[in-house]
């Protein structure tokens, strides 16, 4: 099992217990094989969540069974993974220190901030029945469905062929890594609780929430510049002007601009699935962002 040092020492080992418990349920055959053949437990800790995410990706790339545990009370942060025992596991985990010995300098303060943020996100609604924490997960799930082709089985996806052409036209080497994309999509509205306002009709508004969210995110993840930049520009196609989109493209390139378009496309479908609006409204909103993309000659 592996955790990370952005967690306090007292929090590292309990998270690993969650991971191994989930592993036993998800992979009972591998768990029983380990239990009867070895029963040895090794608990390690990498430097931070990014390194833990990358280790999980690496292990899965070698075909190993990996169970990831995400802590809801920490904004669904990846806090621990359990990897099936093997010679490959020992090799890729070689050099990683034991857990429960060290924590990063600001681990305790950051943990308190994350607990507080998660609580605020869980009581702030994106729509009836869906909070901000759930909304971020739903947007990333929609992105995963789009990449995996699962959207072909859902007739609610609008202008799917056009969206596929947008994706195919992107230079994938210009996109952020998978971890940055995951953090961006799951945390893109983390600042909404801090800027929530209600109008005279009781309707929710979140003025300047993208910039507020980027600021909140940077406080917790100061080294994750790519995700912060994407969060700050999350509303580019939803409410940005053509001039703002053109300016972003000039600064960051066409591939990243198209990626933000696809993110908006997936977010619209995630909101539709959550019941935020009806199919006609979805079609209208998708048509609107397509028009913006075509207006700057990106498609």
pLDDT exceeds 70 at position 185: yes
> Are the beta carbons of 52 and 4 closer than 8 angstroms?
yes
Compute the average pLDDT of residues 12-33.
94
| CA atoms within 13 Å, Cβ hemisphere of 97 | 11
Predicted pLDDT at 297: 86
pLDDT grade for 153, boundaries at 50, 70 and 90: low
Predicted pLDDT at 39: 72
| pLDDT tens digits along 212-245 | 999 999 999 999 999 999 999 999 999 999 999 9
* Cross-strand partners of 2: 44, 81
User: What is the pLDDT of the chain when averaged over all its residues?
Assistant: 93
pLDDT grade for 156, boundaries at 50, 70 and 90: confident
Residue-by-residue DSSP string for 219-258: HH-TT-HHHHHHHHTTTHHHH--HHHHHHHHHHH-HHHHH
CA 53 to chain centre: 11
pTM for the whole thing? 0.93
- The radius of gyration of the chain from alpha carbons, rounded to an integer in Å, stands at 21
Predicted pLDDT at 134: 95
pLDDT exceeds 60 at position 151: no
> Are the beta carbons of 188 and 213 closer than 8 angstroms?
yes
Among 295, 284, 222, 233, CA closest to 259: 233
Compute the average pLDDT of residues 76-100.
95
> Are the beta carbons of 103 and 46 closer than 8 angstroms?
no
Q: Give per-residue burial for 15-24: e unless 16+ CB within 10 Å, then b.
A: bbebbbebbb
Among 139, 144, 225, 223, CA closest to 189: 139
List all residues 6 or more positions away from 291 whose beta carbon is below 8 Å from its beta carbon. Answer: none
Predicted pLDDT at 34: 87
Q: Give kind and range of the element (H or E) at residue 68.
A: strand 66-71
Among 133, 104, 132, 136, CA closest to 3: 104
Predicted pLDDT at 51: 98
> Are the beta carbons of 191 and 209 closer than 8 angstroms?
yes
Compute the average pLDDT of residues 176-202.
95
pLDDT exceeds 90 at position 246: yes
pLDDT grade for 152, boundaries at 50, 70 and 90: low
Looking at the chain, list the stretches that DSSP marks H as alpha helix, in order from N- to C-terminal side.
9-26, 28-37, 49-61, 87-92, 107-123, 132-148, 160-168, 178-187, 209-220, 225-232, 236-239, 242-252, 254-273, 279-295
228 burial via Cβ count (<10 Å: 0-12, 13-18, 19+): buried
3-state secondary structure of 194: helix
| pLDDT tens digits along 95-150 | 999 999 999 999 999 999 999 999 999 999 988 889 999 999 999 999 999 998 76
pLDDT grade for 298, boundaries at 50, 70 and 90: confident
Alpha carbon separation from 101 to 4, 12, 50, 97 (Å, rounded) = 11, 10, 19, 9
pLDDT-wise least confident of 81-85, 192-196, 275-279: 275-279
Predicted pLDDT at 118: 96
pLDDT grade for 45, boundaries at 50, 70 and 90: very high
List all residues 6 or more positions away from 157 whose beta carbon is below 8 Å from its beta carbon. Answer: 151, 163, 269
pLDDT grade for 186, boundaries at 50, 70 and 90: very high
Q: Please give the Cα distance from 253 to 73 (Å, whole number).
A: 36
């Amino acid at each position: 099992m592996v955790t990370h040092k952005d967690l306090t020492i007292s929090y590292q080992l309990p998270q690993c217990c969650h991971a191994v418990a989930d592993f036993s349920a998800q992979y009972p055959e591998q768990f029983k094989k380990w239990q009867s053949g070895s029963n040895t437990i090794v608990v390690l800790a990498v430097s931070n969540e990014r390194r833990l995410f990358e280790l999980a990706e690496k292990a899965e790339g070698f075909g190993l069974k990996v169970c990831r545990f995400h802590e809801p009370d920490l904004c669904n942060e990846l806090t621990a993974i359990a990897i099936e025992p093997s010679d490959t596991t020992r090799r890729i985990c070689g050099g990683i220190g034991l857990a429960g010995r060290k924590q990063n300098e600001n681990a305790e303060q950051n943990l308190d901030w994350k607990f507080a943020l998660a609580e605020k996100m869980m009581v702030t609604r994106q729509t009836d029945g869906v909070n901000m924490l759930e909304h971020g997960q739903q947007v990333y799930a929609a992105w995963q469905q789009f990449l995996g082709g699962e959207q072909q089985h859902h007739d609610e996806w609008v202008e799917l062929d056009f969206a596929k052409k947008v994706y195919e036209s992107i230079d994938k080497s210009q996109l952020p890594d998978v971890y940055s994309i995951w953090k961006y999509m799951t945390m893109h509205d983390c600042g909404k609780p801090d800027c929530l306002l209600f109008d005279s009709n009781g309707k929710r508004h979140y003025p300047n929430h993208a910039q507020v969210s980027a600021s909140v995110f940077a406080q917790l993840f100061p080294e994750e510049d790519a995700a912060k930049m994407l969060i700050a520009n999350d509303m580019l196609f939803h409410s940005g002007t053509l001039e703002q989109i053109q300016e972003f493209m000039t600064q960051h390139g066409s591939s990243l601009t198209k990626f933000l378009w696809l993110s908006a496309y997936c977010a619209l479908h995630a909101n539709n699935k959550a019941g935020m609006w009806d199919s006609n409204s979805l079609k209208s909103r998708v048509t609107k962002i397509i028009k913006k993309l075509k207006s700057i000659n990106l498609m």
